[in-house]
Amino acid sequence: MKNIQLPDDIYQQVAALADADNVSVDRMAASLVLDGVHYWLRLKARAARGSAADFKDILSAVPPSEPDARDRLNEG
């Protein structure tokens, strides 16, 4: 087993979750890291299925329009 270091605030959040679920901090941290790894792998797989050409094709179907006033950059 390997050890990792966490910032104190993150450790406290993990410890609180572990306490609420009646599991060890190590088990909770391992579970959260595994969830993050799975999420990252799914994201990478989705990105691999896309292409810049497909993105440009999709954007070309959007009619040009002025942005809503709330979406404008404040240039000045």
Q: pLDDT, tens digit, for every residue of 19-69?
A: 999 999 999 999 999 999 999 999 999 999 999 999 999 999 999 888 888
In this prediction the pTM is 0.66
Give the relative orientation of helices 25-49 and 8-21 as an angle to the nearest 10 degrees: 110
Q: Does residue 14 fall inside a structural domain? A: yes
Q: Does residue 3 fall inside a structural domain? A: no
pLDDT, position 73 = 83
Q: How many domains does the chain have?
A: 1
Q: Does residue 75 fall inside a structural domain? A: no
The per-residue b/e assignment along 8-42, b for 16 or more CB within 10 angstroms, e otherwise, is eeeeeebeeebeeeeeebeebbeeeeeeeeeeeee
Residue numbers of the domain that contains 35 = 8-61
Better-predicted residue by pLDDT, 18 or 75: 18
3-state secondary structure of 76: coil
Q: Does residue 51 fall inside a structural domain? A: yes
Q: Does residue 23 fall inside a structural domain? A: yes
The structure tokens listed for 26 are 């190590």
